[in-house]
Structure 1
């Protein structure tokens, strides 16, 4: 039985209701149809019609089961607080899949500047077998400090204001002289040509990390796709695997090269993820 306030919300003028939706997407990057329907006290079918209309006007982009805000990613960078609250379940599922790639005695590079990499560090801290972890992210380093099984290396650099990222020298020079197994990478934006960032120095750091790894694994929720930030970092051909969620539309995924990177699309509801598409990953370092 519907509550009286639900009926009142259903009777709200469509234009007024959609304006509330627009204001919500100004503060939030992505939302599912079910969550938005619950939030606004209306039916899922009503919210779907609203999202379809907003998408037709270029105000949002429809995804599987919801929508993402359309912003110019050239310079737009969400705050850490907003990133913490966006796509929480999707990030959890992506990190869970990434952990399956980690084996004892591997050397890992963990990217800097992204909440999803922080969540990965939280989970790696729970592992008990030996690993070497290299990172220029102070949060990641903090989570992995005092772990007897983890050899932690922080190349160093100047801390970017308002973030956990250490950028520039001596980190860049250090990365040129190492060779590790896996680079777990994040990105502000991804399209069929590659990954990109809003900050030039951050882009330099990510490029150096990618070049130092035998395998590059991009971790990104679906809201990051089909847009481009100001600075190109890693071309799509240098990314071996992509782990994302079911919000990535099949028509968008089809725009990427057919053989590399390999995609694994995970369902945050816990269903079995799709298999990797064929890829020709680089051999891991043996040293």
Structure 2
């Protein structure tokens, strides 16, 4: 355990925030006991056991005697969004902040599904915009933006992918084909300069490719762990991207390759 407490005694963490931090800590350290977590978060063992039971039901940790172990999910699999949201969260928040700074009043943007694009939606909630139209195929993104009086949300129909809370298929493509956008924020599972931008699901890839075609600008948002990774379905070659926003741990050679392909790279 780290010497510095994750939660200072005077600062009470929200339940969901504490559970997210617990999942991150278990994944990082490889194990954690109830006693260690209780000390780390300044709460009771009973509360930690309840947290671990909830996280285990969500597939975010594996319960063990007296504590928890990480859930090992291969990168090549179509990882559930609930697990993605716990990974590299701080980097995704910074990426979301940088992406939100590109948004201008009166624009129409597309927010693709994913944990990083959800962070962009959370940033939009804090922005003082007079008018913004957001097209999305993601249920979680639409919910994040619901209730904002100056943000019009256009939800695409289609078949629900339960792992990503996204809508895909012919109905989604038919609806999107009638629209146009100023900017697409594209979340991806892999970006390999030799192969292109990829995602595990062919239907998702087909809809993403259409998103690119109806948008004037495409910005890929992804943490550095996705660089060099390949998934089943190719969305587009990297030279079709206008910009990539990723975190500062991205390898220098990867950054130079992307810039050599004419892609603007922003590191946060």
Tell me whether the two structures share a fold, i.e. TM-score over 0.5. yes
1 or 2 for the larger relative contact order (CA 8 Å, sep ≥6)?
A: 1
Q: Which residue of 1 aligns with 2:218?
A: 216
Q: Is the 8 A contact 1:104 1:131 kept in 2?
A: yes
**Superposition deviation, residue 72 in structure 1:** 6.8
Q: Deviations over 1:218-259 (max 9, x none)?
A: 000000011211110021111100000111110222233515
Q: Is the 8 A contact 2:80 2:164 kept in 1?
A: no
Equivalent residue of 1:151, what SS?
strand
Give the alignment partner of residue 233 of structure 1, picking from 219, 231, 235: 235
- Gap regions ≥5 residues in structure 1: 4-26, 40-70, 267-287
Q: Is the 8 A contact 1:192 1:257 kept in 2?
A: no
TM-score by length of 1: 0.66
Partners of 2:95 and 2:162 in 1: CA distance? 28
Partners of 2:210 and 2:157 in 1: CA distance? 14
Partners of 1:159 and 1:81 in 2: CA distance? 15
Partners of 1:185 and 1:82 in 2: CA distance? 19
Q: Is the 8 A contact 1:116 1:220 kept in 2?
A: yes
- Gap regions ≥5 residues in structure 2: 4-25, 33-72
Partners of 1:171 and 1:78 in 2: CA distance? 22
Equivalent residue of 2:128, what SS?
coil
- RMSD over aligned CA atoms reads 2.7
1:116 aligned to 2:108?
no
Equivalent residue of 2:183, what SS?
strand
Q: Is the 8 A contact 2:107 2:133 kept in 1?
A: yes
Across the two proteins, how many residue pairs are aligned to each other? Answer: 206
Equivalent residue of 1:177, what SS?
coil
Instruction: Please list, as runs of the form range in 1=range in 2, the aligned pairs for 1:177-196 lying within 5 A after superposition.
Output: 177-193=178-194, 194-196=196-198
Equivalent residue of 1:180, what SS?
coil
Q: Is the 8 A contact 2:92 2:223 kept in 1?
A: yes
TM-score by length of 2: 0.70
Q: Which residue of 2 aligns with 1:174?
A: 175
Equivalent residue of 1:153, what SS?
strand
**Superposition deviation, residue 103 in structure 1:** 0.9
Going from structure 1 to structure 2, the CA distance change for 1:78 and 1:163 (only over 3 Å counts) comes to: closer
Instruction: Please list, as runs of the form range in 1=range in 2, the aligned pairs for 1:4-23 lying within 5 A after superposition.
Output: none
Partners of 2:243 and 2:175 in 1: CA distance? 25
Give the alignment partner of residue 264 of structure 1, picking from 260, 263, 266: 266
